[in-house]
Structure 1
Amino acid sequence: MRWLAPALLAALAPAAAAQERVPDVVLTGDITGADHERYKPLSFDVPKGVERITVTLDYDKANKTVIDLGLWDPERFRGWSGGARSRFTLSASDATPGYLPGALPAGKWRVMLGVPNARPNSRAAYRVTVRFDREGRRDASAAIAEPPIRDAPGWYRGDLHMHDANSDGSCASQSGKRVPCPLFRTVEKAAAAGLDFIAVTDHNSTAHFGGLRELQPWFDKMLLIPGIEITTFGGHANIFGPRRFVDFRVGSAAVPDIRALQKDVTAAGAILSINHPALPSGEACMGCGWVWPKTDWSRVTAIEAVNGNIAEGPLAGIGYWYARLNEGHRLTGIAGSDNHDPDAPEGKAPIGRPTTVVHAARLSQPAILAGIAAGNAFIDVTGKGGRMLEVDAEAGGRHVAMGGAIEAASGTVFRAHAVGVADGSAELVVNGVVVRRRRVEGPDARIAFQLDARSCGWAAVNVRDAAKHPLLIGNPIYLTCR
């Protein structure tokens, strides 16, 4: 696995581990028959700097005692779930359905217990735990899907770039009018496309985060990842998994330069991928191409090598990505449909075309983001679900997969396993140049390449169809030289 910075590892730590830590507040007591049809406020203090509050209620139900659950902050009502939930979370950007996102002021908060039923002479113990997220400490959980959707290692297919009514997504209404398109339509289409995960990345906004949290329990076979397309005058970048809003106003007093923005992305617990970097900028496409001269590449995890239908040519991101790899940066190539209409037909970048396929330890937000950072991933340009590309390299008795590093040596062998390509060719790319080609024979093909000379830098395997159009784009294996 590629080396990951400690800050990134901390950001991607599994949510389950966070839940095992000691709560910030524990409130205990008993509900007795005297509490029947009464409300019981439980006060607790919220310190300054808290970014998320997560509350969990456990109680003894043996005597048919029923406890409803709600929350007030120092100034106002923040939500009520009655007996429907035993856990809720809220932050400035999103909240469990039934609760209000917004600022989390310091001061005296109250968990409100409602007791619609407590039998005479009964006694039921309760325990309320409260966990806080704050800068540098993540005890509550911001992950929308907990526990993992699927708790097993494997290759997971997803679309990492899409929009809905919370920015500039639109679709036809029931009467055929063009309207801002509801978030559920995008998620519904992604599920119908057979995707394992999606990231919804509305421009400069977290307004869709609450909707994702509401939809996740119903779409329980597909992971929903909150994202933001940070849209600046000097380029666009998707950030995946932020816990809060990230100010996009590069050049303002709040965000003086691109490095300040990148630092804040890391502080928000997200990873950053540069979008469609080779598109023009200026009036032709305002802010579309990436032109920030002082980009901190150590804080960039990925490059969108394929955006929508643009997989090759001067506007495709693959050339830009290869150029950055040749500069020595280790960056994962990913793809996204950049879909703005879930009903988009073939040829108009429908959801899931292209697809990013990631090898991850499980289908959870931390694992998918860690898989992207590790680089064991490939791009399925046409989004055909049956296609697969696995690549490894062997030298000196060592084996590494895509995203890994191996000491460069003459005779290094690269092995590719291509599935779902009936007739095409595989190519070995070394430092951006195709050095070998092999025919892909049959829909389940194994291809081997050998480097005759010692090469330093990186190598990747791509697969093309019979017409030489790209089908599968592999990520690099890094060739290190002492």
Structure 2
Amino acid sequence: MLRLLPALALLLLQTPAHAQQADQVATGEITGADHETYKQIPFDVPEGTERITVRLTYDKANKTVVDLGVFDPQRFRGWSGGTRDRFTLSASDASPGYLPGALPAGRWHVQFGVPNARKDAHSPYRVEIFLDRGTVRNASAAIADAPINAAPGWFRGDLHMHDAHSDGSCKSKTGKKIPCPLFRTVDAAANAGLDFVAVTDHNTVSHFGGLRELQPYFDNILLIPGTEVTTFGGHANAIGLTRWVDFRIGTPGVPNVAAVEKAVAEAGAILSINHPGLPSGEACMGCGWVWPDTDWNGITAIEAINANTVNTPLSGIGFWYKQLNAGHRLTGVGGSDNHNPDAEAGRAGIGRPTTVVHAEALSTPAILAGIRAGRVFVDVEGTRTRVLDVEAVSGRTRALMGETLAPGAKLDVTATIAGVDAGKAVLIANGTEAQSLPLAPAVTFHLDRKAACGWIAVNVTTQDGKLLLVGNPIYVRCGR
């Protein structure tokens, strides 16, 4: 007996985005009469659906076997046989064996193939259909992987890299320069000992399906889908995207930067401005951030350290500090901007610099939340051992990087530092070096409220001022 239970529209709209609730459920039974036959399980896809996830459970007793596939109203969309019990499809990506593309509204059907059902078989099955539609993200929740590490901690990653899906290159087996396969980029990141990477090809999402295929193999590193939104007035990484966003600022559908920011947020991602200190023009077309109508409330981070500009006048540090001084809360991050996983001479390898994020778990939502929270530091040389954490205390109140402190007359700022043999700790107050002290496992600065008002941060440098570790701000209220 087959039951198809479409979810009520009201329930669909009221379901929290994080809930994993099936929108439609079909149940039935495989019997001996189904042996070596095909069986269609219909379901309906409403207008505006952005992702579909299908999950199958059935009784495998007595050697019953069910193969799994799907058809949309017009065409075949994929087949995984008996190898998986769930799959997902969207315009940008799909599970291996399935075809991404538009999700036409109408009657779809899950396709069963039954290569084996014994004569006396009575095997109940349940097919659950999950949909992403509007603010509801049931399909994304149903296909989401468990955290690679469920414990909180510091996680090291690289938020900016490219492969064959845009302008990444490497050498072929015979030594020719070729567009570099995504697998090579991910393999290099894993070999670098990173905990996570965001692969951010220019303006495309064609690599998302590849990341979905590679993640089960690379089960010790989190692969975060991203896009470098590349415009005529600047580049920005959309990190954690679930779908393509239109980058064509100035066209009717994308009138301004705010439209891009809105689309990125609706797609579940954060936006981080890349290499903002670079020039724009023929020297580096569209590289520097020059959009005059930027809504800074829609920006989460700034790439303060890009491998190609670190410790140069083109560094993003000054741009970041300027925005902090204007009152915008923005997390400073780093990115290798790697275009070749072999890291040929003169180019940074993947993971140099490293963005180190304190997160509740090693998962995409947790890493994004950690970046938003701002308890982040950048390991400029991409070591795996250096640590920087900062705490400000005033009376009975305290704050960590990314938090806000309401100080009394005085406050103490303590930097906990590890993995650096020599150099100095530098206290930054509103973009200016306020104090410096010799390195120690814990370095404490003392300052009054007036000097701290606005924001403070701690960096670690060599004796001659070369950046090694870059800390994020603690925001300090000016009033009592």
Give the shorter-chain TM-score range: over 0.9
Q: Distance in 1 between matches of 2:26 and 2:323?
A: 53
Find the partner of 1:478 among 460, 470, 475. 475
Aligned twin of 1:447: 443
- Contact 1:196-1:222 within 8 A present in 2 as well: yes
Instruction: State the SS of the aligned residue for 1:141.
Output: helix
Q: Is the 8 A contact 2:407 2:449 kept in 1?
A: no
Q: Which runs of 5+ in 2 are unaligned?
A: 1-14
For the pair 1:415 / 2:411, whether they are aligned, the reply is: no
For residues 449 and 250 of structure 1, what CA distance do their matches in structure 2 show?
45
The amino acid that maps onto 1:156 is: F
Check whether the contact 2:386–2:417 (CA below 8 A) recurs between aligned residues: yes
Inter-partner Cα distance in structure 2 for 1:169 and 1:143: 32
1:276, 1:143 → 2: CA distance? Answer: 36
CA distance in 2, matches of 1:145, 1:311: 36
Q: Tell me how far apart the structure 1 counterparts of residues 82 and 16 of structure 2 sit (CA, whole Å).
A: 28
Q: Which residue of 1 aligns with 2:459?
A: 462
Does the Cα contact within 8 Å between 2:388 and 2:471 map onto a contact in 1?
yes
- What's the CA shift string for 1:263-303, capped at 9, x where partnerless? 11111111100000110001111000000000000000000
For 2:336, the equivalent position in structure 1 comes to 337
Gaps of 5+ in 1: 1-12
Q: Which residue of 1 aligns with 2:278?
A: 279
Is residue 313 of structure 2 the alignment partner of residue 314 of structure 1?
A: yes
Alignment of 1:21-170 (within 5 A): 21=21, 23-141=22-140, 146-170=145-169
1:39 to partner: Cα distance? 0.7
**Aligned residue number for residue 255 of structure 2:** 256
In 2, distance between residues paired with 1:303 and 1:384?
21
What's the TM-score, normalizing by structure 2? 0.95
Q: Find the aligned partners of 1:199 and 1:14 in 2 and give their Cα distance.
A: 27
Q: Deviations over 1:35-84 (max 9, x none)?
A: 01111100111000000000000011122111110000000000000000
- Residues 201-253 of structure 1 show CA distances to partners (whole Å, capped at 9, x for unaligned) of 00000000000000000000000000000000000000011111100000111
Q: Deviations over 1:313-352 (max 9, x none)?
A: 3200000000000000000000000000000136411100
The alignment-based identity, stated in percent, is 62
Paired with 2:197 and 2:314, the residues of 1 have a C-alpha distance of: 24
Does the 8 Å CA contact 2:449/2:478 hold for their aligned counterparts?
A: no
Q: CA separation in 2, counterparts of 1:324 and 1:458?
A: 12
Q: 8 Å contact 1:271–1:369 — kept in the other structure? A: yes
Structure 1 residue 289 corresponds to structure 2 residue 288: yes
Check whether the contact 1:305–1:316 (CA below 8 A) recurs between aligned residues. Answer: yes
Distance between the aligned counterparts of 1:143 and 1:25, measured in 2? 13
How big is the shift at 1:254?
1.8
In 1, the alpha carbon distance for the partners of 2:143 and 2:224 equals 7
Structure 1 counterpart of 2:68, which letter? L
Counterparts of 2:460 and 2:59 in 1: how far apart (Å)?
59
SS in 2 for 1:140: helix
- Map 1:194-209 → 2, pairs under 5 A: 194-209=193-208
Distance 1:456 1:328 in 2: 12
Contact in 1 for aligned 2:59/2:125 (Cα 8 Å): yes
Which digits, 9 at most, give the CA deviation of each residue in 1:405-454, with x for residues without a partner? 0113332111111110011100110000111111014xxx1111111343
Structure 2 SS opposite 1:98: coil
8 Å Cα contact 1:31/1:124 also seen in 2: yes
Partner of 1:4: none
Instruction: Find the counterpart in structure 2 of residue 235 from structure 1.
Output: 234
Q: How much does 1:392 deviate? A: 0.9
4+ residue runs over 4 A deviation:
142-145
Deviation at 1:113, TM superposition (A): 1.0
Contact 1:145/1:224 (<8 A) preserved: no
Matched residue SS, 2:33: helix
Contact 1:408 1:480 in 2 (8 A): yes
**Secondary structure in structure 1 of the residue aligned to 2:44:** strand
**1:267 pairs with 2:263:** no
Contact 1:312 1:318 in 2 (8 A): no
Aligned length: 464
Task: Measure, in 2, the Cα distance between the counterparts of 1:377 and 1:232.
Answer: 27
What is the rounded CA distance, in whole Å, between the counterparts of 2:397 and 2:38 in structure 1? 65
The CA distance in 1 between the partners of 2:78 and 2:301, in whole Å, is 38
Task: Give the distance between the partners of 2:267 and 2:119, measured in 1 at CA.
Answer: 49
Residue identity opposite 2:471 in structure 1: G
CA-CA distance at 1:137 after TM superposition? 1.3
Instruction: Mark the CA change 1:145 to 1:346 in structure 2 (over 3 Å): closer, same or farther.
Output: farther
Partner of 1:436 in structure 2? 435
> TM-score if structure 1 supplies the norm length?
0.94
